[in-house]
Amino acid sequence: MPDSSLAAAVRAAAQRLADAGVPDPLVDAELLAGHVLDRRRGEVQAAIVRGDAVDEAQQHALEALVARREAREPLQHITGTAPFRHLELAVGPGVFVPRPETETVVQFAIDALLNSGEPAPIGVDLGTGSGAIALAMATEVPHARVFAAELSDDAHAWAQRNVAGVENLTLVLSDLADAFPELDGSASVVISNPPYVPDAAVPRDPEVRLFDPALALYGGADGLDVVRVLSSRALRLLRPGGVLVIEHGELQGAAIRELLTADGWRAAATHRDLTLRDRATTAIRP
């Protein structure tokens, strides 16, 4: 008699994912099972311990999702959601899936807003993608006014869905070079996770290479084309003493500090993420 337990279904799913080279097969198998059963991962683990069963429809539904993940479709595209700090974001084709490392980068912007002496400090997120960074600023610093710009129609649509109803957040469809001219000289912080992958450095991970939009990944020959535009735009947006925060690749810190210093920024400094890789560079508007 076939084993209809949830434990057996998750075990089989994890094995398929492991064989396909998925990095965390058991985690993904449990999350996919949770998506089918409408349960959180911890609830799935508890159900496995209890010896809960799955019916035939649930088994088929899980197998269909596992087949998509086997093909290296991002887990977040399959479930339609991505966690980010305290948020649960809607994501899918056409938008960059927010990464855990960005959760530490946005803290620099949140701290700058919290430390500002202004009653309603202004934060600007250029190239917001799903809206993750802007939403974190707006919800964690509710007295701030947050402005977000996104160039891609597809990504803007996802961001629009995510920011709906957040009253202190304004979202526009715009190139970052032209965004928010009315704010020039008034922002306390400008933050961006720009495309920074050099054009020739095609990512190894199929989830990134095949599914993340190229517009959100590639930044020219050295990966810094958008950073150069960002430096110029942020100098105009920020008030004196305002903070610029840029996420980047682990080998780009020195080049970005040099670029910013040449543009006139003060105190350019690169910071590591939780894996001790260089992840963000900050600078102060003179």
pLDDT digits 0-9 by tens, 249-259 = 999 999 999 99
List pLDDT tens digits, range 80-124. 999 999 999 999 999 999 999 999 999 999 999 999 989 999 999
- Residue 209 or residue 165, greater confidence: 165
On whether the CB atoms of residues 33 and 25 are closer than 8 A, the answer is no
N-terminal to C-terminal alpha carbon distance within the chain: 73
Closest among 66, 72, 191, 181 to 126, alpha carbons compared: 191
Residue 53 CA to residue 281 CA, distance in Å, equals: 50
Which overall architecture, per CATH, does domain 82-284 show? 3-Layer(aba) Sandwich (3.40)
CB atoms within 10 A of CB 60: 12
* pLDDT of res. 103: 96
If we measure between CA atoms, which residue out of 165, 123, 130, 164 comes closest to residue 150?
130
Confidence class of residue 1 from pLDDT cuts 50, 70 and 90? low
What are the extents of the domains in the chain?
A: 6-71, 82-284
Percent of the chain with pLDDT over 70: 100
Q: Are strands 187-192 and 238-247 parallel, antiparallel or unpaired?
A: parallel
Cβ-contact 65, 36 below 8 angstroms: yes
List b or e across 245-257, with b for residues whose CB sees 16 or more CB atoms inside 10 angstroms. bbbbbeebbebbb
Indicate whether 2 pLDDT > 80. Answer: no
pLDDT, one tens digit per residue, over 178-221 is 999 999 999 999 999 999 988 888 888 888 888 888 888 888 89
At residue 213, the pLDDT reads 83
Cβ(68)–Cβ(18) under 8 Å? no
% residues pLDDT > 90 (the chain) = 89
- pTM for the structure as a whole: 0.90
* 140-159 pLDDT, tens digit each: 999 999 999 999 999 999 99
Q: What is the mean pLDDT of the chain?
A: 94
How far apart are alpha carbons 194 and 129 in whole angstroms?
10
